[in-house]
Chain A
């Protein structure tokens, strides 16, 4: 290594023994997204992997790879021909779970749907929801501000995204939101795989019932009507009913299960970093940067999967046709090859190309709405509750798999 010629020389930090000693397992050959140690040492593991382990393998279930550098993640995400979404995005997918459109499809089917759905979640349309989302943020804050404390996740973070999406975009009642949030959360993280499938089935059933009901109602010209109108695929077939249901399910998963984590993490960071909080209060123009920085650093989508459609090599690792490959967006967003000091949070950062919202044709369709929700949260919160801290004993708790979620965060002011 020292003479610069022996490229094959061994990095003492990545030998199986060194990895077991440091991380409790051989990250490179025996990775596990669901390992509690990954949850506990999330940042350290991501920072290490993006630098030292461009590709890692897991032997859990049917096994899967994780691609970790920004260049490799971008290349794979854009190359849908080789890294197909049509076999699902979850590793060790529960049997019988229907595929979710548009996420679990490839072009041209995917393109047909995105073309009709995109206009409902464009930056322009989402900007028109901004005032309503701000009002909702204030309504939530009204409920607890006088109390001088709150549990941020259940009283704000898990509610605002659902309200924003259901009220403005879907026109769905928010009464059943708690049930759906729980169904999505348990469907993702329940330790028992059968239980996961059952929770997902509950969410499907609820949304299908709503879609059916809407098909009997006069058109409102909204997103639901666009889903009901459907699309014609390139081979002339018309999208079947199940695809329409799955579109609504996929949107709902995305709409309620992700933004909460960025909100909670941002508010926690501001609660524990008064200097950054003051910076945002003094210079509100920085909020926009702050949101990108928090999204970069606190990724609710750790990694999403593809299936290799042919043998392929990624940073020296051969991957065989049919293997499951996860794009570690969380690692790619802190690649030191593309930004300085990626392990540091700085709300002043500008123009960092992060991959929190995914890369390639599956780029998060809700990214514009999520940004509106995050802006409303930071701006309204800092206006109403400029001074706040974590309640003693109320530190955040997390759960992690291919998604990461914050379970609770107790604040006081």
Chain B
């Protein structure tokens, strides 16, 4: 499973990392998603958490690009 983090839409709510800390990381500096503008691979076994993190993002900034 691959997820793209929209660089512009992410505005630092931090919900993704709350629900899926092993998938989504926040930048230590500003608290926005650390991989903004990039596509990340969800580690095996973390799909469910990732889904919850994706759902909780108020900006819809997380897009699944590959199941």
Contacts and interface: CB of A to CB of B under 8 A. Distances in A.
A291 to B, nearest CB: 11
Contact of A350 (B12, B52, B59): B52
B11 A353 contact: no
A360 interface: yes
Contacts of A352: 56
Contacts of A74: 58-60
Contact of A363 (B12, B52, B53, B56): B12
A354 B58 contact: yes
* Chain A interface mostly: loop
Contact of B59 (A78, A121, A288, A367): A78
A353 B31 contact: no
A123 B31 contact: yes
A357 B13 contact: yes
Interface string B7-32: 01101111100110000001111111
A315 to B, nearest CB: 18
A361 interface: yes
Interface string A5-36: 00000000000000000000000000000000
Interface string A352-395: 11110101111100011000000000000000000000000000
B31 A118 contact: yes
A351 B58 contact: no
Contacts of B11: 359-363
B57 interface: yes
A124 B29 CA distance: 8
Contacts of B4: none
Contact of B56 (A123, A124, A353, A361): A353
A368 B13 CA distance: 8
A171 interface: no
Contacts of B59: 74, 78, 359-360, 363
Contact of B30 (A119, A353, A360): A119
A124 B57 CA distance: 19
Most chain A beta carbons < 10 A, residue from B12, B27, B32, B58:
B58
Nearest to A371: B14
Contacts of A317: none
Contacts of B15: 351, 353
A123 B26 contact: yes
B61 to A, nearest CB: 9
A306 to B, nearest CB: 15
Interface of A: 74, 78, 115, 118-119, 121-124, 288, 350-355, 357, 359-363, 367-368
Top-6 shortest CB links A-B:
A351-B56, A122-B31, A118-B30, A363-B11, A351-B52, A123-B31
16 contacts: A78-B8, A78-B9, A118-B29, A118-B31, A119-B30, A122-B26, A123-B31, A351-B15, A351-B53, A351-B56, A352-B56, A363-B11, A363-B59, A367-B13, A367-B14, A368-B31
